[in-house]
Structure 1
Amino acid sequence: LATGEQLCLQRGFTGMGLSELLKTAEVPKGSFYHYFRSKEAFGVAMLERHYAAYHQRLTELLQSGEGNYRDRILAYYQQTLNQFCQHGTISGCLTVKLSAEVCDLSEDMRSAMDKGARGVIALLSQALENGRENHCLTFCGEPLQQAQVLY
């Protein structure tokens, strides 16, 4: 799954051939099909793994990072900006990479992307709401709508 994620970040999902994945990961074809019924099923598992790790990092930052909620939200975006400045792209964001080919992805993969993105938005929304309640953030509208705009 980690190898597939790296290949997808470089080539996209449709650009990543199954043969290339298996060769790079040093996995026999039979072993692959023991765990995944198709490349698309692999893609769903890869997205679920990616978002689980992303959600864990974001939860840790937003719930127990330094400073108040405003500081933590700004730190989240500063990390993204730093990564962009270092690599010239948002290199670790599978959502951004795969969004360009979402029409070519299976319904299950689109659903996994949607679920993952909704989870990120929910975390941001909760942090915005907490920041508003703690008087360190002021904004118009509902936290969920603001989180959708920010994400």
Structure 2
Amino acid sequence: MPASTARSTDTRRNILDAARRIMAHKGYSAVGLNEVLAEAGVPKGSFYHYFASKDAFGEALLKSYFDEYLADMDRVLAQPGRCAAERLMAYWQLWRETQSFDECQGKCLAVKLGAEVSDLSEPMRLALKEGTGAIVDRLERTITGGLTDGSIVIDGAPRETAQILYDMWLGASVMAKIHRSLEPLDATTAMTRRLLHL
């Protein structure tokens, strides 16, 4: 890769990383491009060299976020020497930990931006749909693995159970933010165990 291409890729990455840090606290609409560029140390006039529009920037931000999130999720769900139920509960424990930051403000952009940007931008809504769908896919595979290894028992279909669990955890994360308390996540952990008959 030529040095200029590598620098351009690094600068784009710096902009996305800066935006993620800021928007995890403030949301999408409350953050101006100048604030992101200042945080990234990038000249104001160069934004459109890296992104065609703020919409394209938001879409790239979410895709980048989900790429990293799914890679981390894959590592947790592939831990050797553990049954599927243990790997799945390790994933939920990690979720609880990441949502406990900053008085339960968390780090999840799906939680922080989901409702806000779904009404503002169709490309961003679709990026959220694709990313959250990929999470549910992985949960479904792990639940199916648990049925096979005998560590999980469910009353419905694996996909339905995976979707219910994800929706439940997403809702609990929002409630944890509202109440500034981990109680909704702790209650959801207990309900997850009941749904999986653990």
**Is the Cα contact below 8 Å between 2:19 and 2:61 reproduced in 1?**
yes
CA contact (8 A) 2:99 2:107 kept: no
Q: CA deviation at 1:133?
A: 1.0
3-state SS, counterpart of residue 3 of structure 1: helix
Note closer, same or farther for the CA distance 1:96–1:66 as it changes in structure 2 (3 Å cut): farther
Match of 1:141 among 118, 131, 156: 156
Residue number in structure 1 paired with 2:121: 106
Gaps of 5+ in 1: none
Q: Which moved more, 1:12-21 or 1:98-107?
A: 98-107
Q: Kindly tell me: are residues 99 and 61 of structure 1, through their superposed partners in 2, closer, same or farther at Cα, counting changes over 3 Å?
A: same
Cα displacement (A) at 1:77: 0.9
**Bigger shift: 14-23 or 117-126?**
14-23
Structure 1 residue 10 and structure 2 residue 13: aligned?
Answer: no
Contact 2:18 2:39 survives alignment (8 Å): yes
Once the 2 structures are TM-superposed, how far is the Cα of residue 86 of structure 1 from its aligned partner? Answer: 4.8
Q: Residue by residue, what CA displacement relative to the aligned partner does 1:119-147 show, whole Å, maximum 9, x if unpaired?
A: 00000110001111111100011111111
Q: Say whether residues 1:25 and 2:40 are aligned partners.
A: yes
CA contact (8 A) 1:66 1:72 kept: no
Structure showing greater relative contact order (alpha-carbon pairs closer than 8 Å, 6 or more residues apart):
1
* Dislocated runs of 4+, deviation >6 Å: none
Note if contact 1:83-1:90 (Cα within 8 Å) is conserved in structure 2. Answer: no
Q: TM-score, normalised by structure 1?
A: 0.93
Cα RMSD (Å): 1.5
Deviation at 1:30, TM superposition (A): 3.0
- How far did 1:66 drift? 5.1
**Displacement, 1:88?**
2.6
Q: Structure 2-normalised TM-score?
A: 0.72
Mapping of residues 71-110 of structure 1, within 5 Å: 71-89=86-104, 91-110=106-125
Q: Taking structure 1 as reference, are residues 63 and 74 closer, same or farther at Cα in structure 2, changes over 3 Å only?
A: same
In the alignment, what sits opposite 2:10?
Answer: none
Q: Does 1:57 align with 2:81?
A: no
Q: Give, as a single letter, the amino acid of the residue that structure 2 aligns with 1:119.
A: A
Percent identity of the aligned residues? 36
1:69 equivalent in alignment to 2:97:
no
- Higher Cα radius of gyration: 2
Please say which of residues 86-95 and 51-60 is displaced more in the overlay: 86-95
Match of 1:88, SS state, is: helix
5+ residue gaps, structure 2, are 1-15, 167-198
